[in-house]
Amino acid sequence: MSSDLPLSLPPPDPGVRGRDGRAQGQLEVEMQNLEEEKNRVIKEAFIRAESEMKAVHENLAGVRMNLLSLQPALRTLTCDYNSLKRQVQDFPFMLDKAITEAKQEICQVISDVSSTNQELLRKYKREMNLRKKCHNELVRLKGNIRVFCRVRPVSQEEQDSAADAKTMLSFDSDDDAVLYLANKGKMMTFELDKVFPPQATQQEVFQEVQSLVTSCIDGFNVCIFAYGQTGSGKTYTMEGIPDNPGINQRALRLLFSEVTEKAPDWDYKISVSMVEIYNETLRNLLGDNPSDKLDIKMNPDGSGQLYVPGLSEFTVQSPEDINRVFELGHMNRATACTNLNEHSSRSHALLIITVSGFNSATGNRTQGKLNLVDLAGSERIGKSGAEGSRLREAQCINKSLSALGDVINALRGKHSHVPFRNSRLTYLLQDSLNGDSKTLMMVQVSPLPGNMSESVCSLKFAQRVRSVELSASSSSSRRHENSSTSSSPTHDSIELDSPPVTPAPLPLSRASSAGSTLSSTSRTPSSSRRRSQSQLSTGRLKLTA
């Protein structure tokens, strides 16, 4: 590149011309250097600018590329934005629509659930009715009145006097409804619904009665009687001992566990009364004054039901409540007499449990009553010439046990008249013995040789109670065999007499008229097949008077 700098200087003088010529030369050199320097700098700047320009171009190309690639994304974003904008604008309408649809769906589901519920309720009611019918049918087949026998074990103190006990009483290993009794050289056969040998436990006994117990939850009235002479084990079977309770306590515990299981649908109330009947007088064992006499009256509500004005009733809600009620009953029973053991042998003790249920879903109500009765000793005191108060006691016991036998006889024979009013006991239990109620007679037998004649009487009473229904059903074909040999099991005829408590000799002629004859070959099936399963457990409720 050339320099075009304008230089106009005046002509120098000769002296000066030499110096100036050098200076000019120097200047020109410097200018030449500067010119070159300028050109070099310009060239470098040009080269730098060119490379920077190139880099900028390259960047620009990259940015262009990026822009090109971002364009579709931008378009998509724009689209999305527009769509979202539209959605946001439409949202209130969509929300309204969705809410309306959801409401319709919920209404539909509710109506579906409601109709399913109605259907289930209908089926539930039908099943309940069916269950009740089946239960009734089962009970009808088994007989509304059943008779069990329990032989108590020989105690330690009795071991010496009971050496012959084992040979006198024997059991059938193939049939748990039969008991053999060797008496005066003859082998008598007693066929009942179930026989418990001495080794039977409280639990085994309860297992056989628990279906009766639970049927009161379904509204049935049930009576369980312990019958037998003094010391034969009635109280042991019904009350038991503290660490091995009997039917009373086990029944209440089972009822608690059963109603607790049904709790979501059913609301149950279990209430308890305790009554003693001594010399035909009714006493309230849970009342403030147990020596007050109670009366049985017709309910003024016109229902035709009997009721006992002033009878205390406790609502029990837990096993602890049960214990407190039993303690109170025992205490009141003990305070009302001088010798509790003697007194309890001569009075009937009744534990009356009422189970009332309400099903809030169906509106159904049920009420069942379970009467657990420890009867007075059935021995024939009158025969031994008792006098005074003992005679009166014996007469009262005889009267009520005879009345009970007559009532059961009339019920099983389906007589048009049932003599409930002949004793306080049967009158009080009238509602629970009548209709489709269920009764179990647990006949207690002592294994001691000294008690043999009373054992025979008790078993004959048991046989009589049981045979009435047998004679009314298909058992009329049954026959019995007699033999006077004692070497092999032979059978004495079983006469149908009144309860063995009656002091006067009993009318044997009724045996043949009822036609109850027995044979060891026509026994009912083993009752082990009839057992139903249920377990004990506890509930938690509150004690109220």
Q: Which is nearer to ligand ATP, 152 or 250 (CB)?
A: 152
**521 annotated binding-site participant:** no
Q: Least distance in Å: CB of 461 to ligand ATP? A: 14
Distance CA 118, CA 124 (A): 10
Distance CA 136, CA 133 (A): 5
Q: Least distance in Å: CB of 465 to ligand ATP? A: 18
Burial class of residue 409, CB neighbours in 10 A (0-12, 13-18, 19+): buried
Q: Which is nearer to ligand ATP, 197 or 489 (CB)?
A: 197
Quick one: angle between helices 247-261 and 319-335, nearest 10? 150
**229 annotated binding-site participant:** yes
Q: How does strand 145-151 pair with strand 438-445?
A: parallel
Task: Assess contact for 151 and 445: CB atoms under 8 A.
Answer: yes
Q: Which is nearer to ligand ATP, 210 or 354 (CB)?
A: 210
Q: Least distance in Å: CB of 399 to ligand ATP? A: 17
Task: Assess contact for 151 and 169: CB atoms under 8 A.
Answer: yes
Q: How does strand 281-284 pair with strand 266-278?
A: antiparallel
And the tokens for 292?
């007050």
Q: Which is nearer to ligand ATP, 441 or 541 (CB)?
A: 441
Collect contacts of 155-158 with beta carbons under 8 A, ≥24 apart.
158/448
Q: Least distance in Å: CB of 245 to ligand ATP? A: 12
**231 annotated binding-site participant:** yes
Task: Assess contact for 316 and 325: CB atoms under 8 A.
Answer: yes
Residue nearest to ligand ATP (CB): 233
* Exposure letters 33-58 (e unless 16+ CB within 10 A, then b): eeeeeeeeeeeeeeeeeeeeeeeeee
And the tokens for 93?
């309408």
Q: Least distance in Å: CB of 226 to ligand ATP? A: 7
Indicate the residue type of 336: A
Q: Least distance in Å: CB of 455 to ligand ATP? A: 12
Q: Least distance in Å: CB of 248 to ligand ATP? A: 12
- The closest of 394, 426, 403, 404 to 503, measured between CA atoms, is 394
Q: Which is nearer to ligand ATP, 233 or 500 (CB)?
A: 233
Task: Assess contact for 437 and 220: CB atoms under 8 A.
Answer: yes
Q: Least distance in Å: CB of 499 to ligand ATP? A: 15
Report the interface residues with ligand ATP, using CB under 6 A.
Answer: 152-153, 228, 230-236, 344-345, 377, 444
**235 annotated binding-site participant:** yes
HEC assignment per residue over 73-129: HHHHHHHHHHHHHHHHHHHHHHHHHHHHHHHHHHHHHHHHHHHHHHHHHHHHHHHHH
Q: Which is nearer to ligand ATP, 4 or 160 (CB)?
A: 160
Q: Least distance in Å: CB of 156 to ligand ATP? A: 10
Q: Which is nearer to ligand ATP, 124 or 171 (CB)?
A: 171
Distance CA 296, CA 307 (A): 6
Q: Which is nearer to ligand ATP, 211 or 232 (CB)?
A: 232
Cβ atoms within 10 Å, residue 502:
21
Distance CA 197, CA 151 (A): 5
Q: Which is nearer to ligand ATP, 216 or 238 (CB)?
A: 238
**230 annotated binding-site participant:** yes
Binding residues for ATP: 228-235
Annotated binding-site positions:
228-235
